[in-house]
Chains A and B, each alone.
Chain A
Amino acid sequence: AQSVTQLDSQVPVFEEAPVELRCNYSSSVSVYLFWYVQYPNQGLQLLLKYLSGSTLVKSINGFEAEFNKSQTSFHLRKPSVHISDTAEYFCAVSRSGGYQKVTFGTGTKLQVIP
């Protein structure tokens, strides 16, 4: 079975500074990887995902994540954060090929400081 580790439970960062939210996974087979975001008082929604192809995936609001198979990582980065990025971010993994359970990490709270 696969697992996901998000080592940082909280990450404070000043506005316009870069940020990296770390995600490591454990799986012996090919995987799909996801980042979900939960804004304050809102539901969870998909931010970006890696299924196959290019290992660098991007969201519409400036976040990107790179699938690194050798390091079993899928870290989320943004070069310059905004106040509106304050949210909780969840990394998730599933075995590739469909019809496989998705496993979530424990989440990282990103707090952008003005």
Chain B
Amino acid sequence: EAGVAQSPRYKIIEKRQSVAFWCNPISGHATLYWYQQILGQGPKLLIQFQNNGVVDDSQLPKDRFSAERLKGVDSTLKIQPAKLEDSAVYLCASSWDRQETQYFGPGTRLLVL
């Protein structure tokens, strides 16, 4: 069974630029999550989708972050414009349903200069 795919794996941008991350969940998984993990901290949930609907986006900085999951499969997370404090690993995870085991992708390591 293929795991969660993410791209790119690494990205370096300058502050105020835009960046987008892509995630392809495990086939059949209804729930998709985006997390931000800053060095030395646990993952922080940014947004959770159930199929193509948003379940929770309470911690998503909506003035600069946006995410979508069209057709309930792939998802993209965008940052526009980026700030220095956005430097982190962005993890995508999926699960069969809410509150089930989450399977993580390898993450995208973002550095904002």
Task: Indicate, yes or no, whether A interacts with B.
Answer: no
Interface residues of A (CB under 8 A from B): none
